[in-house]
Amino acid sequence: MTERPNIIYIICHDLGKHLGCYDAMVDSPNMDRLASEGVKFNKAFCNAPACSPARACAITGKYSHTNGEIGLSHMGWSLAQDQRTVVDCFNDGGYETVHFGLNHERHAGTNHYQIDEERTWGDWNAANAVDKTIEYLENRPEDPDQPFYLNVGFFETHAPWAGKDHPKVALEDVYIPTYCADVPFLREKLADFQGSILYMDAQIGRLRDAIDRMGYRDNTILMFTTDHGIDNLRAKGTLYDSGVEVSLLMQLPVASHNGVAVDELIQHIDIAPTLLNAAGIDVPTDMQGKSFWPLLIGESYQPHTELFIERNFHGQRPWLGDHWAKDYADVYDPIRAVRTKDFHYIRNFDPGAWPRLPLPHEIDEVTANCDGYKHSSWPHLTGPRPEEELYHITHDPAELRNVATQTQYAAIKQDLADRLEAWMRQTDDHILTGNVPARPEEPGWGNFPIE
């Protein structure tokens, strides 16, 4: 293994595990090839199912309520400048740090990269970000004195999905996950989504081909992930598996470490310590994640027995008891969860903040007459969510049957609830005191676009 490898970290929007290599029946040939030639993590999860908090967890190695980014950056929750990230660590470690495409942790140009080319909305497009990445790789010295850490962010596969350059997917070929309803509106939207996946997949193929062509493969680690689950029913923004599951793929310089599938629990806050560990840079002691680099290179590794996940603020249309509000707002919906290999316990601390989300069979063609905002296609269910939810993942992978009130699961539920509370106390979760942090700044995009 190269002592100081180059690192390319790619993160996209709203993909979940919606790839062929994760058994979704969608076309993603380049991502599938990366999975077969690299390392595929089968049980990877975000620690917060919202775009900015998820990404901040990954680059700080800390939970959202610890690093402070508990809402979207453009809704006033931009990561504080005194929060050190993996970028700062690579800067201190002698790496050249570079960013192309989208960042969603802070305002553009404020993430401490030595080279940062996020300047316009068009820079977020996957093809444009890959163009700039390839140009950077082509223009580096043949034998540079320092390795690089390169962060590449894609707007894809965030809605709206129907881009003019995106391939068209026939409605009859659309893959409908088991947690979604197969109704015309959602099938049409998923067709656009899967076209967006194909478009992004092609850019990954172009970048990998360029890496090989220019001779970077033998000294470069490539990591691909996404922020959270797909933008659909019981997915993005929720703490169900469909909302917090993420694709996580790696390509390592040493071929013997590739072609591997990892079934251990992995989380976003593990990414920063892992990349630093791979680069031989000391991992800050305040990072709460754990490096899985030893697992990849055959050294001693203690797997996680559980992962902890949270939801706080998110910009959305609020639920007003019997209908969705017209205007967009920053909504506080405190939820915490603990996920083991077999069980998933979710605690809704304000059950009335959102209505109970319908199950797929509760949506039919009559109720799915959407006005353009997909939540409006859901039935107007009455009543709050339950305070506690428990899913037996082994038997119910789509999490359609809440067993929290069943006596045979009482001991398991109590154990998981105790673990969750212990974690909240250990990490000084604001929910325990009720002192919800105030939004540190007014909503906005900073000085973006940058002239």
Tens digit of pLDDT per residue, the chain (451 long)? 557 999 999 999 999 999 999 999 999 999 999 999 999 999 999 999 999 999 999 999 999 999 999 999 999 999 999 999 999 999 999 999 999 999 999 999 999 999 999 999 999 999 999 999 999 999 998 777 899 999 999 999 998 887 888 999 999 999 999 988 888 888 999 999 999 999 999 999 999 999 999 999 999 999 999 999 999 888 999 999 999 999 999 999 976 677 899 999 999 999 999 999 999 999 999 999 999 999 999 999 999 999 999 999 987 776 676 666 777 788 899 999 999 999 999 999 999 887 788 888 877 654 554 444 455 555 555 568 999 999 999 999 999 999 999 999 999 999 999 999 999 999 999 999 999 999 999 999 999 998 7
Cβ burial of 338 (10 Å; 0-12, 13-18, 19+) is buried
In the chain, what are the domain boundaries? Answer: 6-296, 307-432
Residue 255 has what DSSP assignment? G
Distance CA 30, CA 25 (A): 14
How many Å is the maximal CA-CA distance in the chain?
Answer: 66
Q: How many residues does the chain have?
A: 451
Distance CA 420, CA 433 (A): 15
Question: Residue 3 is encoded by which pair of tokens?
Answer: 């002592």
Residue 384 has what DSSP assignment? B
The structural architecture, per CATH, of the domain 6-296 is 3-Layer(aba) Sandwich (3.40)
Cβ burial of 30 (10 Å; 0-12, 13-18, 19+) is buried
Of 111, 117, 109, 189, nearest in space to 157 by CA: 189
Contact 255, 233 (CB under 8 A): no
The angle at the Cα of 108, spanning 203 to 226, to the nearest 5 degrees, equals 40
Distance CA 220, CA 129 (A): 18
Question: Residue 229 is encoded by which pair of tokens?
Answer: 């689950």
Which helix (H) or strand (E) segment is 51 a member of? helix 51-60
CB within 8 Å of 436: residues ≥ 6 apart: 332, 334, 430
pLDDT of 371: 45
Contact 155, 203 (CB under 8 A): no
Of 275, 300, 310, 299, nearest in space to 289 by CA: 275
Please give the C-alpha separations between residue 87 and each of 23, 189, 274, in angstroms, as whole numbers. 33, 36, 13
Contact 39, 258 (CB under 8 A): yes
Contact 285, 272 (CB under 8 A): no
Of 363, 362, 361, 420, nearest in space to 389 by CA: 420
Beta-strand relationship, 343-348 and 329-339: antiparallel
Helix (H, G, I), strand (E, B), or coil: what is residue 342? coil
pLDDT of 1: 54
Q: Tally the C-alpha atoms within 13 A of residue 97's C-alpha that lie toward its C-beta.
A: 15
Contact 306, 339 (CB under 8 A): yes
Contact 338, 423 (CB under 8 A): yes
CB within 8 Å of 165: residues ≥ 6 apart: 127, 199
**Which one of 3.30.160, 3.30.70, 3.30.1120, 2.40.50 gives the CATH number of domain 307-432?**
3.30.1120
